[in-house]
Amino acid sequence: MTILITGGAGFIGHTLTSHLLSQGHTVLLVDNFNESYDPAIKWQHIESLSHLPNWSLFQGDIRDKKFLRQIFRTHAVDGVIHLAGLAGVRASLQNPAAYFDHNVNGTTVLLDAMRAANVKRLVFASSSSVYGARTGGTFQETDPAEDAVSPYALSKRAAERVCLRHHHLYGLNVFCLRFFTVYGPQQRPDMAISRFIHQLYTNQPICLFGDGLSQRDYTYVDDIVSGIGQAIERVKGYELINLGSANPVTLLDLIAQLEQLTRQRVPINWLSMQPGDVPYTHAAIEKARRVLDYRPTTNLYEGLRRMVASYQQSQLHASPQLTPGL
C-alpha cells in the first residue's frame, strides 16, 4: 500500500515509518516541523530513515488545504495514518486554542482533502486521556468519554467525532486508536520517562507531580506501531480501539526501575498534582486483540532497558568519556 503518515517526523511517526517500510509499504511523510520541541530532533528522526527506500517527505501543515490536495493529486494514496497534532496534556493548558486549531481544525481539513481524493482508509491517533480522571477499573471502549479534563483530551475527543461524522456522511473507514502513554527510544523530550532518564544521568532532581502513586499503562512504541500497521490494513467501518499494555505501574515503581537500570539516584522534588493530569490509566485490550490481533510483547523493564541503552548511546556520541553500563 501507499500510506500517508501525518506527523511522520515525530516520535511515533518515524518509528512507524521504519516498521511500515519493513512490511513492504511505500510511505509519504507529512510534517510541519513545528517547535513543540526542538525541530532538530525531528530532522534527526528523518535522517535515521535515510538508508531506507520507498519513502518521501512533504514539509507542510495539515491545516493547509492546497498543500494536502496537491499531494493527493500527485500520489495514489491508499490510506492515511493521522498522527500530526499538538501532544501533551500540560502544555495544552497554556495554549488551548492552538490545540483545537491543530488537532480539530487540522483533522477536518485533512478529512476533507481525503474525501476530495476519494481516499477511504484512515487510522487516527487518539489518546487514553479521553477517558477523563478515573481512579480504578479497566478502560473499555464502550465507556463514556465525555469528561475530558484537559484541552488536549477534549481536542482528541472532538477529533474522534469529526472522524465519526465523515464515516456517517461520506463512508470513510476509520479506526480511532486510543494510545496509552507510549514510551521507547526517541520518546518526546517533554514526556516523563525521557525527562527522568536525563535527570538521573545529569544528576538533577526528578520533579515528581503528586504523591508518586498515580499509575500509567506505559506501552512500548514497537507494540504501538505494530498495532497501527494492523489497523491500516484492516480498517473498516468506524471503531474506537485502545492500544495499551493492560498493566498500570505507579510513578514510584517506574522511578525505582530507572534507578536500577541507570545505577543512578537523585533527590526527588515533590510538586503538587498538575491541573489536567489524570491519576490512573488502564487499557482493556480485548477489542484490539480481536480486531487487530494486537499482542503487546515488551514488558516495562525491557522497554526501559532499551530506552536507557539508546540514551547512553546518544550521549556516547556527544561525550565519549561516558562508559556504557549495559
Ligand X SMILES: NC(=O)c1ccc[n+]([C@@H]2O[C@H](COP(=O)([O-])OP(=O)(O)OC[C@H]3O[C@@H](n4cnc5c(N)ncnc54)[C@H](O)[C@@H]3O)[C@@H](O)[C@H]2O)c1
List the interface residues with ligand X, window 13-32 (CB under 6 A): 13, 30-32
Question: Between 126 and 199, whose beta carbon lies closer to ligand X?
Answer: 126
Question: Is residue 185 a contact residue for ligand X (CB under 6 A)?
Answer: no
Which one of the listed residues 131, 152, 183, 220 is annotated catalytic?
152
Question: Is residue 303 a contact residue for ligand X (CB under 6 A)?
Answer: no
Residue nearest ligand X, Cβ-based:
10
Smallest gap from Cβ 324 to ligand X, in A, equals: 26
Tell me what percent of the chain is helix, strand and coil, each rounded to the nearest 5: 45, 20, 40
Catalytic site residue 152? yes
Question: Between 27 and 30, whose beta carbon lies closer to ligand X?
Answer: 30
CA 287 vs CA 132, 159, 180, 186, 244: distances in Å: 20, 21, 15, 28, 11
Question: Is residue 102 a contact residue for ligand X (CB under 6 A)?
Answer: yes
CA 1 vs CA 21, 55, 121, 174: distances in Å: 10, 12, 11, 17
List the interface residues with ligand X, window 144-183 (CB under 6 A): 179, 181-182
b/e per residue, 44-80, with b = 16+ CB within 10 A?
ebbeebeeeeebebbebbbbeeebbeebbeeeebbbb
The end-to-end CA distance of the chain, in Å, is 39
Q: Which member of 1, 18, 21, 33 binds ligand X (CB under 6 A)?
A: 33
Smallest gap from Cβ 34 to ligand X, in A, equals: 4
Question: Is residue 296 a contact residue for ligand X (CB under 6 A)?
Answer: no
Question: Is residue 123 a contact residue for ligand X (CB under 6 A)?
Answer: no
Asked whether 157 and 148 are in contact (CB, 8 A), the reply is yes
Closest CA to 62 of 2, 25, 114, 1: 114
Smallest gap from Cβ 263 to ligand X, in A, equals: 26
Site string for ligand X, 50-79 (x = CB under 6 A): -----------xxx----------------
Asked whether 167 and 238 are in contact (CB, 8 A), the reply is yes
Closest CA to 21 of 43, 39, 48: 48
β pairing state of 173-179 and 182-183:
unpaired
Counting Cβ atoms within 10 Å, is residue 118 exposed (0-12), middle (13-18) or buried (19+)? exposed
> How many residues form the binding site for ligand X (CB under 6 A)?
30
Question: Is residue 229 a contact residue for ligand X (CB under 6 A)?
Answer: no
Question: Is residue 110 a contact residue for ligand X (CB under 6 A)?
Answer: no
Q: What positions carry a catalytic annotation?
A: 152
Where along the sequence are the contacts to ligand X (CB under 6 A)? 6-7, 9-13, 30-34, 36, 42, 61-63, 83-87, 102, 106, 125, 127, 179, 181-182, 188
